[in-house]
Amino acid sequence: MAENSVDPVSKSTPAPSLTLLGLGAMGTALARTWLAAGHPLTVWNRTAARAEPLAALGATVAATPAEAVAANRLVVVCLLDDASVEAALDGVDLAGRDVVDLVTGTPGLARARAAWVEQRGGRYLDGGIMAVPPMIGVPEAGPYVFYSGSQALFEEHRDTLSVPAGTRFVGADAGFAALYDVALLSAMYGMFAGVAHAFALIGGEAVAPSDLAPLLTSWLRAMAGSVTRTALQLESGDYTVGVVSNLAMQVAGTPTFLRTAEEQGVSAELLAPYFALMARRLAEGAGAEDLTGVVDLLRR
């Protein structure tokens, strides 16, 4: 009975082995998921003590980056920044290695690192992680990684790369994963800026932040619908399609926001640059448009 329950496929195809460089918060979270899924894992970290808990879980600890890279074809890098990748891999033989670089960086850095790895005989895939460490290995939390660069590498290792988080391949240009990653995170910081301003406005009043919080959350969710409208307007080149609140009306309202900030003793330094762009676009005669023209102003 017990013998019949053994899956012959999984028995004949053991989980592929891989190497991971970097055992910070993110690297450690990644390592745990691969070990839990039965992937033989070789790890290296500059500070060796951080590898000890993983060794206890079955990881092989390499003494140097070169030793770790030599151990497996698939080499995942999760170090702090591109400079630390350079520091770890400089002089290491990358011939025949598949390097997956999960370090957050710019598109330009990713393209340069791709060329650097390829010159050394390796294949390169860049990754932008859309998750924080507690989301890694928790599919219901929705973690995923943007990948770009060698599609052959991606396809070959897709199953292994899918263990800690979902995968989204966004193009052969190695810079695209970083481009998508930074685009999403930049929008996030815009949202954080607005939220900071909102909480600053109620500071000192008899309004509890926890009373405002659910209202703010549902309002931001409702307004997120504008993202798709902006995309459609950019693609059509017509920024008057589907306009709900035109630019002229919105610019007319901006003094209210600035005066309210002043009344409440709050700096308008986060809002003012955006309002200035709206006013510039209005001055170009775009009063009937949506706010989409701001995108063009930023690209000048």
Instruction: Summarize as ranges the residues that interact with ligand NDP (CB under 6 A).
Output: 22-27, 45-47, 50, 78-81, 84, 87-88, 102-104, 129, 132-133
What are the structure tokens assigned to 201, written together? 């406005």
Of 87 and 213, the one with the shorter C-beta distance to ligand NDP is 87
What are the structure tokens assigned to 68, written together? 């770790």
Residue 148, SS3 per DSSP: strand
Of 104 and 292, the one with the shorter C-beta distance to ligand NDP is 104
Distance in Å, CB of 60 to ligand NDP, minimum: 17
Of 79 and 278, the one with the shorter C-beta distance to ligand NDP is 79
Distance in Å, CB of 198 to ligand NDP, minimum: 24
Distance in Å, CB of 237 to ligand NDP, minimum: 35
Of 191 and 288, the one with the shorter C-beta distance to ligand NDP is 191
Report d(CA 127, CA 145) in Å as an integer: 6
The region, left, alpha or beta by phi > 0 then psi within -120 to 50, assigned to residue 39 is: beta
Distance in Å, CB of 158 to ligand NDP, minimum: 20
Is residue 113 a contact partner of residue 82, using CB atoms and an 8 Å limit?
Answer: yes
Residue 146, SS3 per DSSP: strand
Count H helices, E strands: the chain?
A: 13, 8
Distance in Å, CB of 166 to ligand NDP, minimum: 14
Of 146 and 169, the one with the shorter C-beta distance to ligand NDP is 146
Report d(CA 186, CA 75) in Å as an integer: 29
Distance in Å, CB of 119 to ligand NDP, minimum: 21
Sequence-distant (≥ 6) Cβ neighbours of residue 284 within 8 angstroms: 293
Report d(CA 145, CA 183) in Å as an integer: 14
Report d(CA 54, CA 44) in Å as an integer: 11
Measured from each CB, the residue nearest to ligand NDP is 24
Of 122 and 143, the one with the shorter C-beta distance to ligand NDP is 143
- The rounded Cα 229 to chain-centroid distance in angstroms is 23
